[in-house]
Amino acid sequence: MDTEQDKVDTAAIATLGAGCYWCVEAVLQQVEGVLGLRSGFMGGAGESPTYEEVCSGTSGHAEVVQVRFDPARLSYADLLAWFWRLHDPTTLNRQGNDTGTQYRSVIFVHDEAQKATALESKAAADASGEHPGPIVTEISPASEFYEASESHQDYYRRNRVQGYCQLVIAPKLDKLGLDS
């Protein structure tokens, strides 16, 4: 029988950007095998960027969710399958009304195995015909992860009645067959 320590020792990390991190977090926290996640920023210049700096579009960071998952229950390839479904990977620097490089579609890879899987997954998703155009998702080496403030963590669960949650996140969850 696995102990909690065994699960921690075998957990893997993935870092994904697919528009607003509140949307990504709301979807992935319902995926079996996800052990935990944190919203934050990656891929830009400067240390410890604030939400306001990232939203200005000048820091170069993307809004991301760093996912801790159990690879025995959820493979990296299956996690990426969720990634392709939860956003439109064919729009450059845009998801819905959210525009700017901070909302880019990006997979930050933590090792060569993740890079190979991400490239293969992207090619398969692009060839699937399930998307309205060519996939523009960036695949880049992971860099320093800067965690967003606590008020941005677990946002949907804590703010379901907020306008953005009702108009953007809840319909996305419904479309994916998840609890809203």
Annotation says 20 is catalytic:
yes
In the set 20, 23, 55, 165, the catalytic residue is 20
Strand partners, 27: none
Distances (CA, A) of 178 to 81, 95, 125, 172: 15, 20, 21, 9
Tell me the C-alpha distance between 52 and 176, whole Å. Answer: 30
What is the full DSSP assignment across 107-127?
A: EEESSHHHHHHHHHHHHHHHH
Pull the structure tokens for residue 95. 């998801």
Distances (CA, A) of 174 to 4, 127, 130, 147: 32, 26, 18, 28
Tell me the C-alpha distance between 121 and 102, whole Å. Answer: 23
Give catalytic residues, as residue numbers: 20
